[in-house]
Structure 1
Amino acid sequence: MARILIIDDEYEVQNFFSYLLRNKGLELSFASNRAEVDTCLTYEPYQLALVDLKLPDTNGIDILKKMKQAMPACKVVIMTGYSTVKSALEAIRLGADDYIEKPFDDINELEMLIDKLLTSETSHDQDKALGLAEQIGFVIGESQQMHHLLSLAYKIAQKNITILIEGETGTGKEVLARFIHEASPRLHHPFIGVNCGALAETLLESELFGHEKGAFTGATQLRKGFFEIASKGTLFLDEIGDASPSIQVKLLRVLETREFMRVGSEKHFHTDARIIAASHVQLTEAVKQAKFREDLLYRLDVVKLHIPPLRERTEDIPYLVNHLLKRHAGEELSFSSAALDVMRQYDWPGNVRELSNVITRAITFADGETNVITPDYLSIKAEKSRVFLSAQVIQQEPTENKGTSDASSLDQYLEKWKQKIISQWKSSEAIDLPSIMEQTKKLEQVVGAAFVKKALRETIGNRKEASRILNISPRTLRYLLNEKGKDS
């Protein structure tokens, strides 16, 4: 007989579950505060726990952590109100199997969830997620963080909530959005994507909301917009951070009311489209710089998914390389271990998209010449291997700068680094001053580039502002980024 623990301080909720589950042959236990929870956890293990997020003297997150430690095999469902959905999603990140919103509007759905969690079906969810990802071309790799992302995306796909995806260019934001759509109950309805930064404001407004015949010059017939076409499906708003202030206002209204007007019309239309937005810039930073509306971010950021850059999951590179190799060349070619080492050590500013291009280029040039692709066929260099400093020197930051990373102190920072390197080499038996100067020049390039990249992240790519913060000229900024000869 399966044992279920109901943790809620409202006796009406406890009575509801007693009535709902009375004929299912289950053993029910109830707790309404921390002491009662502790008492229940001393008994035999439970197979399922339904936990209210807010209790008088504790909360669902703390109970979840305690249960996962005491009974790792117990499935946990968080019960929450709409205003605390973000906290429930945080619980899922910490190991909860699902969440349900109170009041319970769909009793059949609730019963199906309980039945599912009490069977072995949930053990197949990860396999289902991996199979679906492979089917649509969402290559996960072997890193734990990507598997965790996939699992979380698969769970929230079932919920009718707005999702914000953040990640650098080329990480695969659109393919993750498509995965969520395919894993959701909306999979038989349209998935429509639009790049908010690729279209002029007037054209984007027409694409999103549609227009009436004669609304403007060239509007020779009525056109439905994406909000109308994607109703009951999914609308993916890529690069939402690039949307103009006017478009942001209109998007906010749609998210608040689920209503919109076509260009040139006074009639309101309703949409049931699920919104998934994506941005390569951090929208919280854009809000601070008054480049993005805070109220719109609040509406978009119901749940946020972050795709890690490729340089933070280098263990996935061999898997991704093999996948791309099989897709383009079958079993005829392979990459040497040296070539894989170069790819592991490269920074990949273009992420998976850049990796795909590098692999395609290497296959093209190696075809007919060799069966093993060496570093000579790669259009990249192992940037990390060019960091010539010893591990001791790299890890020992000058004490005057520990705990600080003020971009404005770039010149002083570099000078202290150079003096430290020179003094360390002078203490050795052999001194090659020209070599030392050459190495310190390379150091200036490496460390300077790190400062520049940090400043560019803080200014969301604004090079003029980054130059001002660093107190260097745009030409010096380009030099530190190894862009000599390029125009401003």
Structure 2
Amino acid sequence: MTSILIIDDEVEVGNFLSHLFTSKGYKVRVVNSKKEFDAIDFDHHQFQGAMIDLKLPDANGLALLKHVKRRQPHCKVIIMTGYSTIKTAVEAMKLGASDYIEKPFDDIDLLEKQVDDLLVANGTSNEQRILDLATNVGLIVGHNEAMRQVIQTAYKVAGKHVNVLIGGETGTGKEVFARFIHQASQRCYESFIGVNCGALSESLLESELFGHEKGAFTGATQKRKGLFEIASKGTLFLDEIAEASTSIQVKLLRVLETREFMRVGGEQPLHTNARLLAATNEDLQEAVQQKKFREDLFYRLNVVHLEIPPLRDRKEDIPLLIEHFLKRYPSMEVSFSDGALEMLQSYEWPGNIRELSNYITRIVTFADSGHVNITADHLPFAKQRSVTLKKRTANDHTETPGTGMDNFIEKWRDDALSFYSKKEVINLEEVLAQLKQLESQLGKALVLQTLETTHGNRKEAAKRLQISMRKLRYLLNEKRNTE
């Protein structure tokens, strides 16, 4: 017989749950205090499921969870929590809890379904479902334990109507991760819509998010729905949320608090049920302290925080990622020698998965035939960058960006002097144009080199170069400079 352990200091709640699940054929044991919990002989009483209240007067619910999972690892645990402790419930899932449910129990049918599904679910099939969903959206689970853990937590919270903040360095795949959460949720048949908050001006982003009425501004020739309206039953993904202006942050806060918004130029409030996922490669807590990001919005977004590990911390997954990227080119047969894979795994990948993807694309693009065998000798770029980065990492990180570029500048100077010394007539405009081109190349090279030293942290790179994030993206040719 399936046995369930109920841990709740409220006697009425314990009696209700005992009656509910006993009537369904389960064997139920209820404890109302830590003293009663300590009296349980876990060696002789096996529990298939447990429901643990996080708020106990004489015990920490997380400590009891750890004890249960340590003594009986296969026991499925549901955390009982109030809304104010949802973040703690998410921490509990990271510690091994399978699910959580909010108190008071407004929907008894949902409570029964959660427990039934949990107790009859097969662990292997659940793992297979995660792998299938991840494969469908292009997310590689891999072998790295930290990555597997964050994916499992994402899967557990996907079915909850809570906001999720996804953190991670540039290029770690935050949008793909957001798509996984959407596909694992009950909204998977609805729209998933994403927008980059750093790629649009304030006015354009406002119109994009909330829509506008005809005549609201110059060029608004017709009414237009915003993303909150379009994705009302689905998922809205806000990338680079840290770059949203203060005005946009205020409007986002109102939507999250009231689920209502107005189109630009509109007078009637509209309702949205969109599930919000946000992502950032910056430290939002630091941004809050620096008064660059609203504290109340941060707490609204950060109900659940999931941090994607950088590629340098999950190098064992690089062969799987390469295999995944090569599937884009079915007509090519590309293989890597052990030495080549070892070299690729020794590189730090400051641009993370995006950099690896681009690297594989370059290899395939310049391949001469349908079958290519890549050896370590074919990877001088990766080898050079790896050695350079390791030297910098060994130093104190105060190295001036651009060190080591003297030879490049010297060579350009010598070539230019040699070329123009042979000419009697010099086109000044041509010289100035070449200087401008050199300036652009040096700017981009300095940014890339600084990104290496900061392991892809763009905010830190911009700080070291004493430029804004917009300027940094401009130098990388990612967007038009508006400064």
**TM-score, normalised to structure 1's length?**
0.80
Pair 1:47 & 2:48 matched: yes
**Structure 2 match to 1:37:** 37
Q: Aligned in 2, Cα 1:5/1:370: closer, same or farther, shift over 3 Å?
A: closer
Counterpart Cα distance in 2 of 1:203 and 1:385 = 43
Deviation track 1:91-118 (CA, whole Å, cap 9, x = no partner) reads 0000001110001112111111111122
Counterpart Cα distance in 2 of 1:261 and 1:90 = 35
Higher mean displacement: 327-336 or 65-74: 327-336
- After superposition, where does 1:179-190 map in structure 2 within 5 Å? 179-190=180-191
Deviation track 1:128-155 (CA, whole Å, cap 9, x = no partner) reads 0101111121122221122112111111
Report if the CA contact (8 A) 2:169-2:457 is conserved.
Answer: no
Report if the CA contact (8 A) 2:170-2:456 is conserved.
Answer: no
Pair 1:19 & 2:22 matched: no
Matched length: 420
**Structure 2 match to 1:175:** 176
- After superposition, where does 1:25-104 map in structure 2 within 5 Å? 25-42=25-42, 43-104=44-105
Residue 455 of structure 1 and its aligned partner are, at CA, apart by 12
**Structure 2 match to 1:432:** none
Report if the CA contact (8 A) 1:173-1:307 is conserved.
Answer: yes
Residue 375 of structure 1 and its aligned partner are, at CA, apart by 3.8
Amino acid at match of 1:268: P
Report if the CA contact (8 A) 1:79-1:101 is conserved.
Answer: yes
**Structure 2 match to 1:373:** 374
**Structure 2 match to 1:473:** none
- After superposition, where does 1:19-418 map in structure 2 within 5 Å? 19-42=19-42, 43-329=44-330, 332-368=333-369, 371-378=372-379, 380-382=381-383, 383-386=385-388
Amino acid at match of 1:80: T
Amino acid at match of 1:118: L
Amino acid at match of 2:354: R
Counterpart Cα distance in 1 of 2:452 and 2:136 = 41
**TM-score, normalised to structure 2's length?**
0.81
Deviation track 1:215-260 (CA, whole Å, cap 9, x = no partner) reads 1111111111110111111000011011111111111111111111
Report if the CA contact (8 A) 1:328-1:360 is conserved.
Answer: no
Amino acid at match of 1:83: S
Residue 387 of structure 1 and its aligned partner are, at CA, apart by 7.1
Q: What are structure 1's unaligned runs of at least 5 residues?
A: 398-404, 412-444, 468-477, 479-488
Q: Aligned in 2, Cα 1:11/1:362: closer, same or farther, shift over 3 Å?
A: same
Counterpart Cα distance in 1 of 2:182 and 2:164 = 11
Structure 1 vs Structure 2: percent identity of aligned residues?
A: 55
Counterpart Cα distance in 2 of 1:455 and 1:25 = 55
Residue 338 of structure 1 and its aligned partner are, at CA, apart by 2.3
Report if the CA contact (8 A) 2:166-2:279 is conserved.
Answer: yes
Counterpart Cα distance in 2 of 1:192 and 1:379 = 40
Higher mean displacement: 328-337 or 253-262: 328-337
Q: Aligned in 2, Cα 1:369/1:117: closer, same or farther, shift over 3 Å?
A: closer
Higher mean displacement: 150-159 or 113-122: 113-122
SS state at 2:215 partner? coil
Q: Aligned in 2, Cα 1:352/1:387: closer, same or farther, shift over 3 Å?
A: closer
**Structure 2 match to 1:431:** none
Report if the CA contact (8 A) 1:459-1:465 is conserved.
Answer: no
Report if the CA contact (8 A) 2:389-2:452 is conserved.
Answer: no
Counterpart Cα distance in 1 of 2:326 and 2:214 = 49
Amino acid at match of 1:18: S
Residue 379 of structure 1 and its aligned partner are, at CA, apart by 7.2
Report if the CA contact (8 A) 2:18-2:29 is conserved.
Answer: no
Amino acid at match of 1:218: G
Q: Aligned in 2, Cα 1:452/1:364: closer, same or farther, shift over 3 Å?
A: closer
SS state at 2:29 partner? strand
Residue 334 of structure 1 and its aligned partner are, at CA, apart by 0.4
Q: Aligned in 2, Cα 1:286/1:455: closer, same or farther, shift over 3 Å?
A: farther
Counterpart Cα distance in 2 of 1:38 and 1:130 = 38
Q: Aligned in 2, Cα 1:451/1:344: closer, same or farther, shift over 3 Å?
A: closer
Report if the CA contact (8 A) 1:8-1:32 is conserved.
Answer: yes
**Structure 1 match to 2:427:** none
Residue 385 of structure 1 and its aligned partner are, at CA, apart by 3.9
Report if the CA contact (8 A) 1:141-1:316 is conserved.
Answer: yes
Q: Aligned in 2, Cα 1:288/1:28: closer, same or farther, shift over 3 Å?
A: same
Amino acid at match of 1:292: F
Q: Aligned in 2, Cα 1:449/1:266: closer, same or farther, shift over 3 Å?
A: closer
